[in-house]
Every structure is written in structure tokens, then in C-alpha cells.
Copies of this chain bind each other. A is one copy, B any other.
Amino acid sequence: MTVHLVGAGPGDPGLMTVRAAELVARADVILYDRLIPDRALDGARPDAELVYVGKQGGGPQMPQAEINRLIVAHGRAGKEVVRLKGGDPFVFGRGGEEALVCAEAGIPFAVVPGITAGVAAPAYAGVPVTHRELASGVAFVTGHEHPDKPETALDWPALAAFPGTLVFYMGVRALPRIAGQLIAGGREAAEPVAVV
């Protein structure tokens, strides 16, 4: 195996998995995101190459195409590559795209799931996302829509009708619009909300 797409969890160092810690300790190259836990790289080898590829709204950032290029280049070189991502690689993490890039380049890869913030952040705030008799399901939705998509890209009435808890990622800036669209779509205005 050369490339591991690894979820580092929601930010608490204790919520990294045992496997993530093992892979960090073994890697030749670690391509890491902004939202990994503090000290997540402390266990890396002294001679490992650590490359920051994080994205932050508004600032300079490495384009996804360049991240993909680095994954492929190091993978082709036979290096043990860890692509360390906040949360889970496949939940709003663009891990699917990075997996495709590896598959297309013929580079062996594996995905190591991580705890996603949509489960952990409510839990730390005391909110179970499912609960018998109250919420028989939970949906994770991105509150940050693609800038070139029209505002109506999400089916708000369908989301409003979802029979359970709704968790929006990256939704703080869009909060008034999300709440307005859900209520317009039929969601009970009195339903409790937590912003974590």
C-alpha cells in the first residue's frame, strides 16, 4: 500500500484512531490539512516529509489539483504517503476525488475512516443526533454551496421534510438562509437548534 487517505477526526487528539496514529508514525510523506488535531504529527518520523496542503477561506491556498498532483507523484515514487484530513475522508472531505485520482493513476490506496464533526460536535455539546421516539435518523448536509451553483441547488422542501436531525457542515455564514429556507420548506419554526 502506498497511499492512505486518513481521517484525523474532529480535532480532539484523543479522537484520532489507533490506525491513524500508526500510519502517521510510519509515513514517508504526510500531506496534511488545516483542521487536523493539535500535535497530530508529533508521532511522525523525524525524517518524514510533512507538507501543509490546508485550505482556508479567504487566504492563499493550495488548489485541489496540486494536492492531487502531490499524492500521485509521491505515490508513484513508492513512498508511504499519508493524506491526513480533518474529520472523515468521505464526508465532505473530497476524499472521493483523491481516491479517484489514485485509482486512475493505478496507485494502490486505502481509506481510513475518521470521526466526522457532524457526530462529534453535537455529542460534545450534549446533543444525541438520534434518539428513540424523537429522531429516527440524522442527515449531514453541506451548508457551503458551490459558489457557481444557483441558490436553489439544494432541495429545501425535501430537507425540511427529513424525518430526523439535520446537521449542516460549514453552515455558519449561511445560517439565516438555511433557517429561512427550512421554515419556508415546512420545517417547524419552533424546532430546537444548536449552533456548535
Contact = CB atoms under 8 A, between A and B. Distances in A.
A141 interface: yes
Given A19-B15, A161-B155, A90 B119 contact: yes
A140 B89 CA distance: 17
Given A9-B17, A14-B22, A96-B130, A123 B162 contact: no
A188 B92 CA distance: 23
Contacts of A12: 19
Contact of A16 (B17, B92, B126, B132): B17
Contacts of A142: 130, 136-137
Interface stretch (A50-58, A73-81, A109-117, A175-183): A109-117
Interface residues of A, number: 60
A30 interface: no
A92 B132 CA distance: 8
Nearest to A10: B113
Contacts of A16: 17-18
Contacts of A128: 89-90, 95-96, 99
Contact of A119 (B88, B131, B155, B161): B88
Interface string A90-134: 111111110100000000000111111001101110111111100
The 10 A-B residue pairs with the shortest CB-CB distance in the complex, in nearest-first order? A14-B19, A96-B128, A158-B161, A137-B141, A90-B128, A139-B139, A96-B131, A113-B120, A155-B163, A111-B123
28 contacts: A13-B18, A14-B17, A14-B19, A15-B17, A15-B113, A16-B18, A17-B18, A88-B115, A88-B123, A90-B119, A90-B123, A90-B129, A91-B138, A96-B130, A96-B131, A97-B131, A97-B132, A99-B128, A113-B124, A114-B115, A132-B146, A137-B140, A137-B142, A139-B139, A139-B140, A141-B164, A154-B163, A161-B161
